[in-house]
Amino acid sequence: MNLSAVLVALFIVSMLVVHAISNQVRKVTVSNALNYLIAAIMILSAAFRSELVGSDTPDYMEDYMAMSGVSLVSVISDYPLSVVYYSTSWFAKFLGFPTWLWFGIVEAFYVFSFLFFINTFSRDRLFSFFCFLTIGLFFPSYCIMKQIVAMSFALLSYVAVSKKRFKKAVVFFVLGFFSHQSIILFLIAYLLYFFRNRKKAVVILTAALLLVSFLGANIWSSIVGGYGNEHYMMYAESDEDYSSTAVIYMATLTFIVFLLKRKYYKNNPVECTLYLSLSLFACVLQSLASSFSIAHRLAYYFMPFMILLIPNIISSINNKVPKALFQLLYVAMMSFFLIYTQRSIPYIIDLRYISSF
């Protein structure tokens, strides 16, 4: 299947989803059925991907194949800071799981963690999952497997915090930390959750933005230098220049929802402030990627709040005209982003081999 056909198929699917949304398809059973169908396609596409899809896919394949020749004690000793990911992969290899099945398990954990997060907080589950795909949270999972495990634990931890299950939240966070240490930055989400007063949120967010903007690279270098982790140091020292397209895309969406947030804010001021603050923080992190290369990966931890903010604001709008215009604009931006990503970042998306589309 060629690239053009895949893009056309994705566009048609997205139009059908938005059409369903615009016609008030709100039944939970319908939304869940569609979400699980889309999730199954995502998981299969990740499981059966080629070694050419995802810049780190060959390394993850080699790591998994190497698990058959070592003991669990050696794995724990060799990967103390990623022990959750590697010990689990060792166990999967011990059970004889092929590589595609291991990739599928990791992707399923990631996708269903997002579904659980969406089902807990979103007022429009179908549109939130649509945002998950189009905002850029799905395709990077092909090449950041350890981080998506940490992100999954971060989401589960956040849900646990919201339900006052703090012991469970701590357990999830620790599991995430020993998958990928970048989860440390997610502590900002907890701070904003517990200090959701608008003035306190502004102070916390401003301090975090200043800290990351001026000292982010130095702090990250010090942390990974202390651990002696050459893999993470590579990101801290990288001078790779990332495009501003993702920044413009995310910032535009956030600006639009900011303009349309009045009713949502009136009815849910604390929730709106929290989601908007974390969405803005994701935009700032993305904008720092040109000078602090790992920043775009750190932004992924806060982008889930954008997939709540956008549908929740749209759901609060009674006037059908701005609502319809926003949906059309969003589809146009999604299409542009997919096309640009295909053209400029080939290691993230190469779907020509996926017959399921």
The string of DSSP codes covering 145-187 is: HHHHHHHHHHHHHHHHHHTT-HHHHHHHHHHHHTT-GGGGGGH
Token pair in block for residue 270? 């604390």
Q: Are residues 9 and 158 in the same domain?
A: yes
CB 36 within 8 A of CB 126: no
User: Which pair of tokens denotes residue 58?
Assistant: 């060959």
User: Same domain, yes or no, for 117 and 151?
Assistant: yes
DSSP assignment, residue 140?
G
The SS3 call for residue 23 is: coil
Domain shared by 101 and 199, yes or no: no
302 within some domain: yes
The answer to whether residue 336 is domain-embedded is no
Q: Residue 347: its pLDDT value, please?
A: 41
pLDDT at residue 352 in the model: 43
Residue 327 backbone dihedrals phi, psi, to 5 degrees: -65, -40
> How confident is the model at residue 274, as a pLDDT?
86
The whole-number mean pLDDT for each consecutive block of 10 residues of the chain, a chain of 357 residues, reads 51 56 58 84 85 81 89 90 93 93 95 95 87 80 89 96 94 95 89 73 62 54 50 50 58 71 81 85 75 76 90 77 65 65 47 38
**Residues 207 and 298 grouped into a single domain:** yes
pLDDT at 282: 84
Whether residue 151 is found in the same domain as residue 292: no
Same domain, yes or no: 173 and 66: yes
Distances (CA, A) of 127 to 78, 148, 280, 307, 319: 42, 21, 20, 8, 18
Q: What is the pLDDT of residue 310?
A: 83
334 inside domain: no
d(CA 341, CA 344): 5
- 32 and 153 share a domain? yes
Q: How many domains does the chain have?
A: 2
Same domain, 247 and 168: no
Residue 55 lies in a domain: yes
171 lies in the same domain as 216: no
Within a domain: 333: no
8 Å CB contact between 242 and 290: yes
| Separation of first and last alpha carbons in the chain | 9
What residue numbers bound the domain in which 131 lies?
1-179+349-357
Let me know whether 147 and 206 are in one domain. no
118 in any annotated domain: yes
Indicate whether 18 belongs to any domain: yes
Does one domain contain both 166 and 279?
A: no
The answer on 164 and 40 residing in a single domain is yes
pLDDT at position 350: 46
Pick the closest to residue 14 from 40, 34, 30, 44 (CA basis). Answer: 34
Residue 331 lies in a domain: no
